[in-house]
Structure 1
Amino acid sequence: MRNFARIALAAVVALVVGLALTSCTDSSQDKENRAKQDNYDHLVAQQPAGRMEYSPTREAINQWIKTWGQRGKLSYVYIQNANGEYGYFIMKGLPVPRCKMLTPTERVETTNHGVGVLAQPGMDGTYTSGSTCNAYYGFDATTGAYMEFTVGTNQSFFLFDKPMTMPEYASARQLGPTSVKDVANQA
């Protein structure tokens, strides 16, 4: 029993000494990270964040919630192509980027070898790279037809909660099944 206690004590001492030696030999990255954190702490102490009496950002977010947080809200999506021409869709709710998911796309797993991030399958049982964030989809306002469009490479979209009357939008070509007149007639 005494030998076991001595061996256990020697193992604990060796572990403590090993950890102490390891902590004395910081890597270059550890030193750089510590310098960055020290500098940040110094700057915060010298220039603490100010205090606002009112937040226009919070007001805008709350207005966004008020605007889009209601069932049946229509969105008017105007698309401008590389030639400067406009077209439009009218959708139920907001267009959704295809990279949005209802379930987690990754799982963090800790093993003896470290921490790893593992991809998780989507609701359709397949994996995605998350590279479809420039593709949006939604459903037509009157027919419910699925619609999808992409942005980028000389194509932009502008989203409104009402039809736009400015000249470039007023002359936009109807791209989906529902027209501005169709929606006006339903109101």
Structure 2
Amino acid sequence: MKSLARTALATVFALVVGFALTSCTDDSSQDKENKAKQENYDHLVAQQPAGRMEYSPTREAINQWIKTWGKRGKLSYVYIQNARGEYGYFIMKGLPVPRCKMLTPTDKVESSSNGVAVLPQPGMDGTYSSGSTCNAYYGFDATTGAYMEFTVGTNQSFFLFDKPMTMPEYASAKQLGPTSVKDVKSRS
């Protein structure tokens, strides 16, 4: 009786191991394509390994951006060009912020035995957003603190600087917000 039970147990174990091994070797066409793609990538990397840089101009630019904008009270000069090529400007405290930026997560990942779901989360104002307001920017006037918002798109572009521009197209720009370049210069 014990040997029969052992034989049955060994048979069940062999079947389970056999099924497990066959289920691990899926030969679907997608698996074959993925394997071919990985093998090709491995071959190309072996033939042409990525070069090694001695210096990164991208990292230098990011660090310069941090030095420029990572200070409290830094002013930004926002020049807006309309469809007719005319310029106007705002002077803001800090950088203009796209309205689609949030301080809270915009979605939550939930997983269960049924799979993974990404669920939208409400914003700080208790409403949901599609994130489609990335062409609308807001900020606060440099001297009055007034809220300002502008959009960019089909016929309007904006150019951002950390100092007033003296090139002719910018020098003749119309003041669009409460603060003028002269106001800022007189405070300095």
TM-score scaled by length of structure 2: 0.88
Which residue in 2 is equivalent to 1:68?
69
Which residue in 2 is equivalent to 1:22?
23
> Which runs of no fewer than 5 residues in structure 2 stay unpaired?
1-5
Question: What does 1:58-137 align with in structure 2 at a 5 Å threshold?
Answer: 58-137=59-138
SS in 2 for 1:76: strand
Distance 1:156 1:177 in 2: 20
Q: 1:99 to 1:170 in 2, by over 3 A?
A: same
Aligned amino acid, residue 92 of structure 1: K
Which residue in 2 is equivalent to 1:170?
171
SS in 1 for 2:78: strand
- How many residues align? The count is 186
Distance 1:82 1:11 in 2: 77
Larger Rg: 2
Q: 1:78 to 1:8 in 2, by over 3 A?
A: farther
SS in 1 for 2:100: coil
RMSD: 2.5
Distance 1:72 1:57 in 2: 26
Distance 1:114 1:159 in 2: 44
In the TM superposition, what is the alpha-carbon distance from 1:14 to its structure 2 partner?
Answer: 5.9
Distance 1:108 1:181 in 2: 50
> Which runs of no fewer than 5 residues in structure 1 stay unpaired?
none
- 1:94-117 per-residue CA deviation (whole Å, 9 max, x = no partner) reads 001111111211222111111221
TM-score scaled by length of structure 1: 0.88
